Amino acid sequence: MFNKIKNWARKLKRQIFILYFACKDERVPWYSKVFTACVVAYAFSPIDLIPDFIPILGYLDDVILVPIGVVIALKMIPKSVLTNCEVKAEEMMKKGKPKNWIVGSIIVLIWGLIIIWAIIKIYRLIN
């Protein structure tokens, strides 16, 4: 059973890399790029909708939301693009996850703004 889970996780990681390269391809429609970019950003982001330290619930978003997003995004991308991106993804799997500090900073900034907005709303509600 552990090997099944490990293979599933490896396959999911490969699919996320495929989506990462598909986001950069000009043959992908803009709406697919936007959705795919959100899925990839969420998958690579260290910040989750439900924090991982919450028992059981913390991993549900990783186990449910990411795979659903991946499946939807893969259906939105043309097959010819997917075949090209699969080759690139295989190479990337050997090297490791891409590091883009600018995009990472933007993701952290967005989450920070959401948290500040929520705190302001809660503060106004209380007072």
pLDDT tens by residue, 83-100: 888 888 887 777 766 666
The DSSP call for residue 61 is I
Longest dimension (CA), the chain: 56
Q: What is the pLDDT of residue 92?
A: 73
Q: What is the pLDDT of residue 96?
A: 64
Q: What is the pLDDT of residue 100?
A: 66
Mean pLDDT over 29-54 rounds to 80
Q: What is the pLDDT of residue 115?
A: 92
- Whole-model pTM: value is 0.65
Burial of 123 (0-12, 13-18, 19+ CB in 10 A): exposed
| Stated length of the chain | 127
pLDDT at 31 over 80: yes
Q: What average pLDDT does the chain have?
A: 82
Helices (H), 1-127: 2-24, 30-44, 57-60, 66-76, 79-95, 101-126
In percent, the amount of the chain with pLDDT more than 90 equals 20
Q: What is the pLDDT of residue 6?
A: 76
CA distance 79 to 74: 9
